A and B are shown apart, each in its own frame.
Chain A
């Protein structure tokens, strides 16, 4: 199929005798809204690390737009259009909001080795920055240092950085984690406005966000795919109820 952006075939990862990822297959089409859920220890983080290249799989392959990227470095995958956000704040603390986003813009425009021409006099960079600041409603805090920013706002900057990379596939690692309740509504709203042709994988515990956002859900348990389907199918699935939702209710 031509619309496939990301394709994962028979992905397997084991540490010694311990298999943490077992035979995972799935594909992502342009504009997909895919959620990855599962109880703690199901292997979501490992899977993300395999896709982004932080870990090398024991076997299986990952294709981005038909190109086999299984052996590519994380950095190369990013420049090919595979971006992610981080769960723990991972920004540039001694720089301002606008400078943070500018770094991603610079990386995306491949001008990171330009030794001259002041960054803040580059028209294209400024236009792009203005757009991103407007979209994320960050104009007011453009001059703020990241270290002075509230947690919720840092998550916005994190998202802005990822989008500045103009990715084809975006992996959102628990975007709502640590966000106050009133902000998670805003987050859902923001997620709905992501570019229509961007394929998104979201890992999230907040089921309201997952079911409101995803058009397809993959449930992981003990390193392998328990089931895949639309939100309503997942909701109706007895196995999922047992393994995941049931457990969540007991928590």
Chain B
């Protein structure tokens, strides 16, 4: 009779086990997306700034996806990290060094550190209480930024800082060409990082926590520490997005900390689909471009439409349009297996 504890065989395991993981695989689709983004550079014409805006929002949505989609941390205050990253990068450029890459790191670290500290509070609770806590923290920071005029410029915003050429070579131009490519490079880096993260053992542990945190604890995993880690990472990525925004626009306003921004990112993720990385891309592109176009025509009608769309979207496509596009496009996007 076979005993369960057989000595592990020296053979390499069958490949089909590796293939039965729902990991995020790079495929032709990703190549297409990136090709398109670089291609767009030559055809965007006057819209490079909008393109940059899209990319920044994709990075922010990616960071939120790591928290909500992959780890089940329900945050409606992600703008805080974006704003802190933006202010940190701007203040750094103003007072210390105008070198942009260091500025990105500073923005990311500042936001990550704030994520770590607030995570100690936010991650103690779950569900609605968690949502409200994230909203409340957002309100506190917004209030501080509005009040502390000597540092943040208050409602007037923070401006007047210079950003040196990237790598001492590529300076930011008036048309936003450099800014577009710069943010695209950062997005590529962040996306690669996020992919590695979600496919790693840690990434699977996060999904396990999202599904059933009690059971994860009973597998001997220190759940609180793991959640704190991903929350800090997610905050740092949001901070990097904010830092780029500060560098390419030359202005940080208190808007960057607002509840509205937190809500909008969540909407992007909802449109694109959560827990699938690509959702951030789809949602970011659709949301930013539509809202820019519609807002140019009539900001308040756009708000009305957005409200209506939001209700209908949650009602009828709770998974977002991501899976939908998957099904339609097939090879156009990843063939990631989705429950």
* Residues of A participating in the B interface, judged by any CB pair closer than 8 Å: 52, 74-76, 78-79, 84, 86, 90-96, 98-99, 102-104, 106-108, 111-131, 133, 135, 142-143, 145, 147, 161, 163, 165, 192-197
Judging by beta carbons under 8 Å apart, are B20 and A114 in contact? Answer: no
Judging by beta carbons under 8 Å apart, are A78 and B218 in contact? Answer: yes
Given the known interface contacts A90-B212, A93-B211, A103-B219, the answer about A131 and B21 at a Cβ–Cβ threshold of 8 Å is no
The residue of chain A having its C-beta at the shortest distance from the C-beta of B24 within the complex is: A118
Judging by beta carbons under 8 Å apart, are A195 and B5 in contact? Answer: yes
The residue of chain A having its C-beta at the shortest distance from the C-beta of B7 within the complex is: A131
Give the docked Cα–Cα distance between A217 and B278 (Å).
55
Q: Which 5 A-B pairs have the closest CB atoms?
A: A78-B220, A79-B220, A126-B13, A92-B211, A120-B21
A-B contacts, CB under 8 A, total: 152
Residue from A92, A98, A131, A197 in contact with B8 in the complex, judged by beta carbons closer than 8 Å? A131
Give chain A's interface secondary structure class.
helix
Give the docked Cα–Cα distance between A121 and B202 (Å).
14
For the complex, is B339 an interface residue (Cβ under 8 Å from A)?
Answer: yes
CB distance from B275 to the nearest CB of A (A): 9
Residue from B2, B199, B202 in contact with A113 in the complex, judged by beta carbons closer than 8 Å? B202
Judging by beta carbons under 8 Å apart, are A98 and B201 in contact? Answer: no
Given the known interface contacts A78-B220, A126-B13, A195-B5, the answer about A96 and B226 at a Cβ–Cβ threshold of 8 Å is no
Judging by beta carbons under 8 Å apart, are B21 and A112 in contact? Answer: no
For the complex, is B214 an interface residue (Cβ under 8 Å from A)?
Answer: yes
Give 6 pairs: A residue, B residue, CB < 8 Å, sorted on A: A75-B217, A111-B201, A113-B226, A126-B13, A143-B20, A161-B219
The residues of A that contact B215 with a CB separation of less than 8 Å are 86, 90-92
Judging by beta carbons under 8 Å apart, are A119 and B204 in contact? Answer: yes
Contact with A along B14-27 (1 / 0, CB 8 A): 10111111110000
Give the docked Cα–Cα distance between A92 and B199 (Å).
17
Give the docked Cα–Cα distance between A128 and B196 (Å).
22
* Size of B's binding interface in residues, CB under 8 A: 47
The residue of chain A having its C-beta at the shortest distance from the C-beta of B216 within the complex is: A103
For the complex, is B3 an interface residue (Cβ under 8 Å from A)?
Answer: yes
The residues of B that contact A76 with a CB separation of less than 8 Å are 220
Given the known interface contacts A99-B21, A112-B202, A119-B23, the answer about A90 and B214 at a Cβ–Cβ threshold of 8 Å is yes
The residues of A that contact B17 with a CB separation of less than 8 Å are 98, 120, 126, 129-130, 133, 142
The residue of chain A having its C-beta at the shortest distance from the C-beta of B210 within the complex is: A94
Given contacts A120-B21, A127-B8, 10 further A-B contacts (CB under 8 A): A74-B218, A78-B217, A90-B215, A95-B211, A103-B204, A108-B220, A114-B201, A127-B9, A127-B13, A135-B2
The residues of B that contact A126 with a CB separation of less than 8 Å are 13, 17-18
Given the known interface contacts A118-B200, A119-B200, A145-B339, the answer about A107 and B221 at a Cβ–Cβ threshold of 8 Å is yes
Give the docked Cα–Cα distance between A249 and B9 (Å).
48
Give the docked Cα–Cα distance between A83 and B233 (Å).
31
Judging by beta carbons under 8 Å apart, are A98 and B21 in contact? Answer: yes
The residues of A that contact B5 with a CB separation of less than 8 Å are 195-197
Judging by beta carbons under 8 Å apart, are B204 and A99 in contact? Answer: yes
The residue of chain B having its C-beta at the shortest distance from the C-beta of A196 within the complex is: B3
The residues of A that contact B6 with a CB separation of less than 8 Å are 131, 135
Judging by beta carbons under 8 Å apart, are A117 and B218 in contact? Answer: no
CB distance from A205 to the nearest CB of B (A): 23
Residue from B1, B22, B23, B202 in contact with A115 in the complex, judged by beta carbons closer than 8 Å? B202
CB distance from A14 to the nearest CB of B (A): 25
Give the docked Cα–Cα distance between A248 and B176 (Å).
80
For the complex, is B208 an interface residue (Cβ under 8 Å from A)?
Answer: yes
The residues of A that contact B201 with a CB separation of less than 8 Å are 106, 111-114, 117, 119, 122, 125
Give the docked Cα–Cα distance between A96 and B23 (Å).
11
B1-55, CB < 8 A from A: 1-6, 8-9, 11-14, 16-23
Give the docked Cα–Cα distance between A245 and B197 (Å).
55
Give the docked Cα–Cα distance between A161 and B212 (Å).
14
Give the docked Cα–Cα distance between A196 and B5 (Å).
8
Task: Name which of B4, B22, B196, B221 has the most chain A CB atoms within 10 A of its CB.
Answer: B4
Judging by beta carbons under 8 Å apart, are B22 and A128 in contact? Answer: no
